[in-house]
Amino acid sequence: MNADELIKRVDDKASLDFLAAMARHKSYSQTEGERQLAAFMAEQMRGIGLDAQLQKVEGERVNAIGTWRGAGGGKSLLFNGHLDTNPVSEGWTVDPWGGLVDDKFIYGIGVSNMKAGDAAYFCAVKTLIDAGVKLRGDVILTYVVGELQGGVGTLAAIRQGVKADYFIN
């Protein structure tokens, strides 16, 4: 299957719906909502066949880590993005937790930093799996916490042995 055929398989509506579902999680840094979004991500990764778990960070905080196992003999690739967001600022004219999608935008706290990127790599892997693509190397999806606290989630993942040959952060 070539790249053009794979691109045609991307389900734009499903991808936007997935991002909207992420945006509906009130995932302020260091709150229960952050933990709930991590649990949601782990569940979604399991739902497409990844080996996924919640990884303890510090206190009650957790990362969601999933691995799509390759057949062997290939290089591994890791995607890393954070789940936690800043509080809502003033000036919103729509519900910042509504995940509203219109013909131009998707609205929500954390969409541009960085839930859209997180959703994109999840949906890319899902598209590959749905298309029956088999890779030689593993693909690791990390949804970490603590972006505003010095990257504590990423550091915890590294310290707990999460690694790859290549990564996209």
Cite the active site residues.
Answer: 84, 147
d(CA 152, CA 156): 6
The dihedrals phi and psi of 63, each to the nearest 5 degrees, come to: -95, 160
> If residue 144 lies in a helix (H) or strand (E), which one and from where to where?
strand 139-144
Closest C-alpha to 99, from 156, 35, 19, 31: 19
3-class secondary structure, 79: strand
CB count within 10 Å of CB 2 equals: 6
Q: What is the DSSP letter of 149?
A: G
Residue-level length of the chain: 169
